[in-house]
Amino acid sequence: MKIQYPWYDSLWLSSYVSAKKLIKDKYPYKYEEFIETFEPLKTNSDFQVKKINDLFDKNTLDVVKALIYQLKKEELEKHELFNFGRFIIHDHPFFCQLHAKVIDFVSEAVGEEVESSYNFLSLYNNFGVCAVHMDAPIAKWTLDVCIEQSEPWPIYFSQVRPWPEDFICETRDWEACIKNDPENQFTAYLLQEGEAIIFSGSSQWHYRERISKTQQQNYCYLIFFHFHPTGQRKIFYPKNWANLFGIPELDNVITAQGSPIRYEFAVNDPQRSINIVQEERA
Single-letter amino acid code for the residue at 180: N
What integer pLDDT is reported at residue 254 of this predicted model? 82
- For residue 40, being part of any structural domain is answered with yes
Give the closest residue to 227 by CA, choosing from 194, 260, 266.
266
In a domain, 33, yes or no: yes
Q: Is residue 2 part of a domain?
A: no
Is the separation of the CB atoms in 114 and 184 below 8 Å? no
- CATH number of the domain enclosing 240: 2.60.120.620
The answer to whether 12 touches 238, Cβ cutoff 8 Å, is yes
Domains contained in the chain, number: 1
What is the pLDDT, as a whole number, of residue 278? 31
Q: Residue 1 falls within a domain, yes or no?
A: no
Q: Does a structural domain hold residue 19?
A: yes
Whether 246 is in a domain gets the answer yes
Given a contact cutoff of 8 angstroms between Cβ atoms, the answer to whether 190 and 144 are in contact is no
**CA dist., res. 280 & res. 274, Å (int):** 10
What pLDDT tens digit does each residue of the chain (282 aa) get?
567 899 988 999 999 999 999 999 999 999 999 999 999 999 999 999 999 999 999 999 999 999 999 999 999 999 899 899 999 999 999 999 999 999 999 999 999 999 999 999 999 999 999 999 999 999 999 999 999 999 999 999 999 999 999 999 999 999 999 999 999 999 999 999 999 999 999 999 999 999 998 888 999 999 999 999 999 988 998 999 999 999 999 999 886 543 334 444 444 333 333 333 233 223
Q: Is residue 210 part of a domain?
A: yes
Query: Is the model's pTM score more than 0.85?
Result: yes
Q: Using the 8-state DSSP alphabet, how is residue 86 labeled?
A: E
Cα–Cα distance between 232 and 236 in angstroms, integer?
7
**pLDDT value of position 272:** 37
CB distance 204 to 212 below 8 Å: no
User: Would you say 228 and 140 are in contact if contact means Cβ atoms under 8 Å apart?
Assistant: yes
Q: Specify if 5 maps to a domain.
A: no
What does the angle CA 81 – CA 83 – CA 50 come to, to the nearest 5 degrees?
95
pLDDT at 274: 32
Residue 168: how many CB atoms within 10 A of its CB? 7
Distance CA 255, CA 259 (A): 8
Q: What is the pLDDT of residue 260?
A: 38
Judge residue 244's burial from the number of C-beta atoms within 10 Å of its C-beta, 0-12 exposed, 13-18 middle, 19 or more buried. Answer: middle
Rounded to 5°, angle at Cα 73 from 70 and 79? 125
Which domain range does residue 266 map to?
11-281
